[in-house]
């Protein structure tokens, strides 16, 4: 199954998609500066184990982002922690290919995965949280139709201080 957009397509990521380049993203401090994975060094095996766990989980859906023109794997997006009772999940993403930053790829991926969450998973609501300094992510969610839902004060420890977590949400129409 592929979810097709204008510049990218999404498909479920498998352990076979783990490459040295993908592992390098996960160890690049600029790419992971707002990810919780930054606290531990990542290896080929830890990344493969993570991807396999996502494949095995009934509450998580991990997609790779691939460029339509070259099929290059440039990042990942997931719907995770799905509550079957309340019908919500959270969205998280990484664009590891720095050449793809600032080109609208994140908002396109968010729109694609949101449509999948609502139409295929029958979710009622999707949520996301990010470090307040991560304005690129925040703007991408807003562009994809998410609404600001407030913040958690002094929620994340970042660069020697506590910073707010910005929250966004989108309900199924």
pLDDT in tens, the chain (173 residues): 899 999 999 999 999 999 999 999 999 988 888 776 666 788 999 999 999 999 999 999 999 999 999 999 999 999 999 999 999 999 999 999 999 999 999 999 999 999 999 999 999 999 999 999 999 999 999 999 999 999 999 998 888 899 999 999 999 98
Element (H, E) at 125: strand 125-131
For the chain, domain boundaries:
2-126+135-146
- Helices marked H in 30-160 — which ranges? 44-56, 105-119, 135-143
Q: Does domain 2-126+135-146 have CATH number 3.30.360.10?
A: no
Structure token digits, residue 121: 């998973």
Task: Give the list of residues 6+ apart from residue 9 with CB closer than 8 angstroms, or none.
Answer: 2, 3, 65, 66, 68
> Model-level pTM?
0.94
Rounded CA-CA distance 119/122 in Å is 5
- Helices marked H in the chain — which ranges? 20-26, 44-56, 105-119, 135-143
pLDDT score of 101? 92
The DSSP bridge pattern shows strands 161-171 and 147-158 to be: antiparallel
């Amino acid at each position: 199954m592929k979810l097709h957009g204008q510049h990218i397509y999404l498909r479920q990521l498998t352990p076979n998609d783990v490459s040295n380049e993908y592992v390098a993203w996960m160890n690049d401090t600029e790419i992971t500066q707002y990810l919780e994975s930054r606290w531990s060094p990542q290896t080929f095996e830890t990344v493969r184990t993570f991807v396999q766990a996502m494949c095995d989980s009934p509450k998580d859906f991990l997609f790779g982002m691939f460029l339509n023109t070259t099929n290059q794997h440039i990042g990942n997006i997931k719907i995770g922690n799905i509550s079957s009772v309340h019908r919500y999940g959270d969205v998280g993403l990484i664009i590891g290919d720095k050449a793809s930053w600032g080109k609208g790829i994140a908002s396109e991926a968010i729109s694609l995965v949101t449509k999948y969450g609502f139409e295929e998973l029958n979710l009622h609501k999707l949520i996301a949280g990010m470090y307040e300094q991560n304005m690129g992510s925040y703007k991408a969610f807003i562009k994809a139709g998410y609404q600001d839902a407030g913040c958690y004060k002094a929620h994340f420890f970042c660069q020697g201080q506590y910073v707010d977590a910005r929250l966004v949400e989108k309900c199924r129409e």
